[in-house]
Amino acid sequence: MFLLLLSGLWIGFSLMGAGVMGMLMFKLNLPPTISVWDKIGGLLANSIWNSTNSWSLTALPLFILMGEILYRTQISTRLLNGLQPWLAGIPGRLLHINVVACSLFAAVSGSSAATTATVGKITLDELSKRGYDRSIAIGSLAGAGTLGFLIPPSLIMIIYGILSDTSIGKLFIAGVIPGLCLASAYAAYIMVRAMIDPSIMPKEEESHTFKEKIAASRELFPVLLLIVVVLGGIYMGITTPTEAAAIGVVGALALAVWFKNLTVENFREAVLSAVKTTSMISFIIVGAAFLSQVVGFVGIARALSLYITGLGLSPYVLIFVIAIMYLFLGMILDGISIVVMTLPIVLPIVVAAGFHPLWFGIFLVFMVELSQITPPVGFSIFVIEGISGEKVGDILKATFPFFVIMILMVIAITAFPDIVFYLPNQMVD
């Protein structure tokens, strides 16, 4: 597969090709009446249908479209203008925008890809235009975008909750503090970088009086209104998280009409651009779904987790080895498949070693988040490549510090599990 990827074959095709080869190499025990090519082809056709005929995935193009509309109608410029006076006093200034915006959006969307795509579309170009360092902009987007899984609602937590018989409500609550810690750690890193190397941002503009801040905040109003409408719809029980995406699109259109900067031309561009990003990501999802299916048949994930759990390790060494295993699996598989394939074997062992299922759920969400930004199969990286046009290698380099911060966070929740347990323990049973 690495060979296919290196050859410059498009990623979706590389995953499919690897899947086909995996099936050919694997001893399938077929009865004489079924040909191996029919079996592989049938599986492939079925994964194309099954992975795209998905209600929860429909939120993805809609969130992307919403980001495109905001981006093309200068509502995004208003957002940055409005935030600038407030962030001006903080080292790093607008570089914090990705962290702030991703944290807000993570509370709306259940997936990292949607969070990354929406926020990235709004912020990346604006930051470059204003002279901020592109590498940190991209890195912070990749890092903070994965908050989509940690801050509720979260697709991964729902799947984990069902598979592990853990309360989804408690998982959601448990993700809040680690999510905010992670966001703060990113912000702290950006501040430190900005203090060491002021060249990563444009020259300081004149300081702002409080009156100016209030005046500028009026620019924030439209976007805040949109967030309130989308979030309010979910938390007041009017829409499901998936449906909220459609409300977001309608809201963005309404704002664009209100500010009179919606033209037929930029609307057409927004839709076509959303089409491109959507088919690009979905094509990779199709390839990943097929490869995951093959991996399921061949049983790599199963064999690996059986092997590790058979070693008889002490609790912390066990968690360390499991983390390494997930990092490895996270390179080649997508997050949801990893959880589904390994959990039945890993969870009982982890629980027997004395870890709480609730804690392990949050740990697993971190592992899935890491898998989003590790090559060669990392969805956040693909999304960013799609919207920024940067090379994968550059994106990885930019993302690395944030990857390290995430690892440090994993160590922190392992050493101090109360970060996870504090809020759920306040809940009345």
Partner 1 sequence: EAIKLDLNAVYGATSFHTQGAMDFAKRVEAHSNGSVLITVHPGGSLGFKGPELLKVVKDGQVPMSDILMGVVAGSSHAFGISSLPRLVKSYDEARALYVDSRPLYEKSARRWNQKLLYAAPWPPSGLITKKAIVTRADIKGIKTRTYDKNGAEFLRALGAMPLSMPWGEVYASLRTGMIDSVLTSSESAKNGKFWEVLSHFEPINYAYPLNMVTINLDYWNALSGDQQEAMLKAASETEAAQWKASQARSEEALKAIAAEGITVTPESPELTAELDAAAREIQKKFLKKAKKAEKALLNTYVK
Partner 2 sequence: MKKFISLIDACSKAGGYISGLFMLLIVALITVEIFARTLFDTSTLIGDEYSAYFFVVVVMMGLSFSMKEGAHIRISLLRGKLPEPALKVLDLAVLAGAIALTGFALYHAVLMTYDVWDLGMTADSISETPLYIPQLVIPVGLFLLILQLTSDFLRRLLSFQIR
Q: Name which of partner 1, Na ion, partner 2, none residue 29 binds, using a CB cut-off of 5 to 8 Å depending on partner kind.
A: partner 1
- Least distance CB 238 / partner 1 (angstroms): 7
Cβ proximity to partner 2, 285 vs 362, nearer residue: 285
- Least distance CB 274 / partner 2 (angstroms): 6
Helices 155-164 & 335-352 angle (0-180, nearest 10): 40
Q: Contact letters (x/-) for Na ion, 76-115, by CB under 5 A?
A: ------------------------------x---------
Q: Which of residues 266-285 bind partner 2 (CB under 8 A)?
A: 268, 271-272, 274-280, 282-283
Task: From 105, 12, 114, select the one nearest 56 (Cα to Cα).
Answer: 114
| DSSP string for residues in 173-225 | HHHHHHHHHHHHHHHHHHHHHHHH-GGGSPPPPPP--HHHHHHHHGGGHHHHH
- Under rule CB under 8 A, residue 169 binds partner 1: yes
Q: Name which of Na ion, partner 2, partner 1, none residue 378 binds, using a CB cut-off of 5 to 8 Å depending on partner kind.
A: Na ion
Segment near partner 2 (CB under 8 A), from 46-54, 96-104, 138-146, 300-308? 46-54
Alpha-carbon dihedral 369, 372, 375, 380, rounded to 10 degrees: -140
Cβ proximity to partner 1, 235 vs 416, nearer residue: 235
8 A C-beta contact, residue 249 and residue 65: yes
Radius of gyration, alpha carbons of the chain: 22
Cβ proximity to partner 2, 278 vs 305, nearer residue: 278
Cβ proximity to partner 1, 107 vs 190, nearer residue: 107
8 A C-beta contact, residue 345 and residue 302: yes
Q: Contact letters (x/-) for partner 1, 251-290, by CB under 8 A?
A: --------------------------------------xx
Backbone conformation region of residue 324, classed left if phi is above 0, alpha if psi is from -120 to 50, else beta: alpha
| Those residues with Cβ within 8 angstroms of residue 303's Cβ, 6 or more apart along the chain or in another chain | none
| DSSP letter, residue 96 | G
Residues, the chain = 429
Q: Name which of partner 1, Na ion, partner 2, none residue 65 binds, using a CB cut-off of 5 to 8 Å depending on partner kind.
A: partner 2
Q: Contact letters (x/-) for partner 2, 48-87, by CB under 8 A?
A: xx--xxxx-xx--xx--x----------------------
8 A C-beta contact, residue 131 and residue 152: no
- Least distance CB 39 / partner 1 (angstroms): 6
Segment near Na ion (CB under 5 A), from 55-63, 153-161, 285-293, 419-427? 153-161
Segment near partner 1 (CB under 8 A), from 9-17, 72-80, 292-300, 387-395? 292-300
| DSSP letter, residue 94 | G
Task: From 166, 156, 108, select the one nearest 368 (Cα to Cα).
Answer: 156
Q: Which of residues 22-81 bind partner 1 (CB under 8 A)?
A: 29-34, 38-39, 42-43, 46-47, 49-51, 55-56
C-alpha distances out from residue 421 to 42, 171, 352, Å: 46, 10, 19
- Under rule CB under 5 A, residue 362 binds Na ion: no
| Those residues with Cβ within 8 angstroms of residue 140's Cβ, 6 or more apart along the chain or in another chain | 95, 96, 98, 99, 186, 190, 402
Cβ proximity to partner 1, 161 vs 251, nearer residue: 161
| Those residues with Cβ within 8 angstroms of residue 219's Cβ, 6 or more apart along the chain or in another chain | 78, 79, 81, 82
- Least distance CB 51 / partner 2 (angstroms): 9
Select from 240, 300, 394, 423 the one that contacts partner 1 (CB under 8 A): 240
Cβ proximity to partner 2, 65 vs 364, nearer residue: 65
Rounded Cα–Cα distance for residues 91 and 6 (Å): 40
Q: Name which of partner 2, partner 1, Na ion, none residue 188 binds, using a CB cut-off of 5 to 8 Å depending on partner kind.
A: none
- Least distance CB 344 / partner 1 (angstroms): 4
- Least distance CB 276 / partner 2 (angstroms): 4
Segment near partner 1 (CB under 8 A), from 74-82, 165-173, 245-253, 304-312? 165-173
Which helix (H) or strand (E) is 336 found in, with range?
A: helix 335-352
- Under rule CB under 8 A, residue 247 binds partner 2: yes
Give me the helices (H) in 110-167, please: 112-129, 134-145, 147-150, 155-164
- Under rule CB under 8 A, residue 218 binds partner 2: no
- Under rule CB under 5 A, residue 190 binds Na ion: no
